[in-house]
Structure formats: C-alpha cells, structure tokens
Amino acid sequence: MSGARGFIGAATVRRLAGMPETTVVALARSRPDGPADHNVHWVERSLEDLGPSHWRSGGWTKFDAVIHLAAFTPKSAATRDSAQEIIAANIIGLQTLLTSFLSPPGRFIFCSTLDVYSRAAFEHVVDERSPVGPAGLYGLSKLLGEGLVEAYSRSVGMECLTLRLGHIFGPGEERYAKLVPETIRRVLANQPPRIAGDGGEQRDLLYVDDVAEAIARSCTAPLNGARIINIARGASQSILEVIEAIAAVAGYRGAPERLPRPAEAYSTLFDTSLMKRVLGEWTFVSLTEGLRREITQFKGVS
C-alpha cells in the first residue's frame, strides 16, 4: 500500500493490520515511530525512486492487491494547482509504481477523488455516471491517473478499481485548511467559527475509519463489473449544522462570524447504492462521535 503514513493511509494500515492472515506491505518515505505491527512490513522509499529491486530485496514478488493512496493532495485552495508537485507525485509517481512490480498485482485499487466531477454534476445527486470535468489541476491529475491505471490493467490483464473518495474527516487532518479542522482550530482558540453565506450548502462527511473500511473491503469484494465506486456516507448535512456540531462538542457557545457567500459555493450529495452493493454495509461512525475523536486529537497535539 502506498501513502501508508498519510491521513487516510495510516487509518487503512491500522484496519488491514487487524485482519487475520493478512500481510501488509506499507510504502512510505519513512516508517512511523513506535512499536510495529508484526504483519506490517515497511518499505521506506519515495514513489519517484521506486523500482523492481525494492520489491525483490524484500521478497515481494507478487501482491494479491495493491492500494494506491500516495499523492500530492492540496492542503488548501492555494495549492490546488501546484503543477510541479502534482505532476511529480500524481502522474510520474503513479507511472513509476505501476512499472515497478515484478509481476502484475491481482487487483489494483486506485484512490481518486470527488474533484474529478464537473461543477455541474453537483447540481444533482452524484453517482458514478455523473459528468466529469475537474476544476483544478489536482482533480485533473486524478482523472488522468484513473485512465493510466485502466490502460495498464488492460495491457497486463490486471483487475483494477477506482475509489472516488468524498469529504473525509477525522484525526490526522490537522494540516488541512478544510471546513472541519479549520473550525476546530478556531473554536479551541476561543475564536468564532466562520460561515460563508447562510451555511446552507450541504456536505457529505465520512469518518476516516469508515473510508479505511471501504478500502479494506475493496481488496477482496467481488466487483461484478464495477470499475468506479464513490466512497461517501450517502447522507449530507448543512455546513451550518456541521459547524454547530463542532461548537457543541468543543463546548464553544459564541455566535459564528458571517462571511460573504463565495460565487462557487455548491452542495455535495451522493448516491452510494453501488458502494453498498459491492462493498456491503456497516455502521458508520456518527458525525458527533467522529468530531469528538478529532477534537480530542487536536487537544493532544496543540
């Protein structure tokens, strides 16, 4: 699995490590501190430097499934079009990974993003057939990555699956300038949370451990022809409701600060029927419980 120390990657390693009779090969630039799980083997290497010799030296000649999470993911709107980093990690890095295997994996799981969809797609409930048309270079790089993986899979006879991940929250996202961590930072500093417009736009928020569950299930689930699956909760709440939930969990009682509504504001609502059909169903971590865990983590690192 690539990107094993990232926000989603770390949660996925924990989930896979808990599966009996599963050996996890975790690829990252460096391994984490602390005791290692007995069935997690770390390969310390960047994608750009990866080659067949790194798998051969560890005796990894064949993988049943490969999960590709490593990417340059913008932490804020200002880095959405950082061309050098995006091209190096999301395009060249992916190509390097695909050509590094000693033999084709049984299944390749490419973790993409909702950013591949066009803005027009979000005027309706989004499913896997909704129109694509990324607004930024990051989304475009992920859409190109989907195509690269499909082309490679056809050429070597490998099974592949693209997971388009939605809005993910939870412990580990403190470096991101997104709705949930930004609001948590402010209320913990006793500053008013900020709301653009009336906060009526909808967001589908899925806890990071539930994304890890979906990724783990995708390694072995019968695909029955599925090639692309949206990974989301399938239920949305208004931004105002999310901010009020954060304030309530954190014990903040002040009024929010109102900002102008941006022209590009939109809602996200997803049809997750294909996800449920292919990956099955489980009980999601609730928004309140997920926020409680994330706020607890924020307090520990502040």
Cα–Cα distances (Å) from 75 to 42, 122, 127, 168, 302, in that order, read 25, 22, 25, 13, 19
**What pTM was estimated for this model as a whole?**
0.95
CATH homologous superfamily, domain 7-169+206-233:
NAD(P)-binding Rossmann-like Domain (3.40.50.720)
pLDDT in tens, 226-252: 999 999 999 999 999 999 999 999 999
Q: What tens digit of pLDDT does each residue of 125-150 get? A: 999 999 999 989 999 999 999 999 99
Whether the pLDDT of residue 81 is over 90: the answer is no
Do 140 and 86 form a contact (C-beta atoms < 8 A)? no
Average pLDDT over residues 121-128: 96
Instruction: State the pLDDT at residue 301.
Output: 67
Report residue 273's pLDDT band, with 50, 70 and 90 as the boundaries: very high
CA nearest neighbour of 190 among 254, 147, 104? 254
Phi first, then psi, for residue 196 (nearest 5°) are -85, 120
Residue 274 has pLDDT above 60, yes or no: yes
**Lowest mean pLDDT across 5-14, 68-77, 198-207, 247-256:** 68-77
pLDDT tens, 174-222? 988 899 999 999 999 999 999 998 999 999 999 999 999 999 999 999 9
| CA-based end-to-end distance of the chain | 30
pLDDT at residue 42 greater than cutoff 60: yes
Backbone angles phi, psi at 109, to 5 degrees: -105, 110
Q: Is the predicted pLDDT of residue 55 greater than 70, yes or no? A: yes
Helices of type H across 99-238: 137-156, 179-188, 208-218
Is the pLDDT reported for residue 32 higher than 90?
A: no
